[in-house]
Amino acid sequence: MSHTPRSLRSRAVLTCALLVAPLIAGLSGCGGSPDPLSAKPYDAADQISFSGDGDGRKANPDKPLEVTAKDDDSRITDVTATDAAGRYVRGELTDDGRRWRSTVPLAAGAHYTLKVSTEDSNGAPGRRTVDFTTSSAHRLLKVTFGPKAGEYGVGQPITAKLSRPVKDPSARAVIERALKVDARPAVEGVWHWVDSRNLHYRPQEYWPAHATITVHSNLKGIRIGGGLYGGEAKSLRLTTGDRLEALTDSGTHQMTVKRNGVPIRTIPITTGMPGFDTRNGIKVILAKESAVRMTGASIGLGAGSYDLMVYWAARVTKSGEYVHAAPWSTGSQGYANVSHGCTGMSTANAQWFFNTVRLGDIVQVVHSNGEDMATFDNGYGDWNMAWADWRKGSAVASGQSDATPADSARLRPQA
């Protein structure tokens, strides 16, 4: 039996160790278990489902978008949903990674891209990208703004006519917040619900002179409530001219016309006689008619009472009150009220007034024995309502609703 010296055995062991070490190092570098996060993401289609997927049907915008992990061997780590413009849909992921749910409404008839990140039980990452479209709304609310584009006086209210009636305060708040009015110079204003289909917008005071006012709607695709969605609306741009005001004093029988606060003309006038007293209050010029036929029958008098053509007529009420030429009453102008409710003046003064004013300019009547101008049902009497009362007609300014603002129903970048 031979024996190897201890020193030789030690050198042999050391040599083997030196030879094996590089081999082990090489094996761990090529054949070991790599970091799962460094692997290329796998297709996670089989691990997730979402509420708009499956049979080709479009997603329902009335319901939240949901992404769910199908089994216990995987979990969702991140979800990103964006619309065609790249805006994000906010949502919440449960702590266990089993479900993600959108927290803001989706728009109707809109395209979205959904990107989902997952990981399996070994920590390997998965990815899935899905494009889907929400169904179009069957009930659309269209908005028509008024008046027509152009230049107006500083008393011209903005109007919005809805294609369907809306009575719910929360739905009204959504609509108000989406109907935008911007003025340069800037001025505070509020929408007021005249009825369930009509809104008026005005500042606390008149519009600034030489302002630019733009009106547009952000309602398109927005869920309003009760299955109703916002539809199309054509934007509007208005400008104002000088601040022109005509102060009609039925007591002194004089009209004072001011431009930007400075009197430019005083005109002898006649207003409504007893029984036909001119309405008190602030009115806005609705139309200019160089010639209009006026009859007694239109105000309830007999057919033969009067029937004549009237010239240089500026209309201030729907019921037929005008500022116009009245050459037949020049002897009373400046002294007595002898008309059937209109403001009459000489032909020369009426022509000057007609050529000076524009639609939306202000005509205010004081010291008449007539009734007060109605706020809405006989023209634009909007300015006769106190500002505090005007704000009460707003679902937003009055605090009638704590509904989610319409802007939040749109897509915002996630924080």
Catalytic residues: 324, 342
Q: d(Cα 248, Cα 269) in Å, to the nearest integer?
A: 8
b/e map of 302-341 (b: 16 or more CB within 10 Å)? eeeeeeeebbbbbbbbeebbbbbbbeebbebbbeebbbbb
Output the six-digit token pair for 121.
């039980």
Alpha-carbon torsion (294, 297, 298, 299), positive or negative: positive
Q: How far are the Cα atoms of 353, 362, 383, 391 from residue 386, in angstroms, in the given order?
A: 29, 17, 8, 9
Query: Measuring CA to CA, which residue among 195, 88, 145 is closest to residue 412?
Result: 88
Looking at residue 165, its amino acid is P
CB-based contact 69:99 (threshold 8 Å) = yes
Q: What are the Cα distances from residue 59, in Å, to 37, 46, 139, 410, 411? A: 33, 20, 17, 16, 16
Provide the token pair at 162.
Answer: 């809805």
Closest C-alpha to 236, from 314, 157, 164: 157
* The two structure tokens encoding residue 331: 């002897």
- Answer whether 224's CB lies under 8 Å from 174's CB: yes
Strand partners, 65: none
Q: Which two tokens stand for residue 163?
A: 């294609």
Q: 18-41 burial by CB neighbour count: b if 16+ within 10 A, else e? A: eeeeeeeeeeeeeeeeeeeeeeee
Q: Please give the Cα distance from 250 to 321 (Å, whole number).
A: 14
Q: Taking the alpha carbons of 34, 74, 131, 226 in that order, is the dihedral positive or negative? A: negative
| Helix, strand or coil, per DSSP, at residue 152 | strand
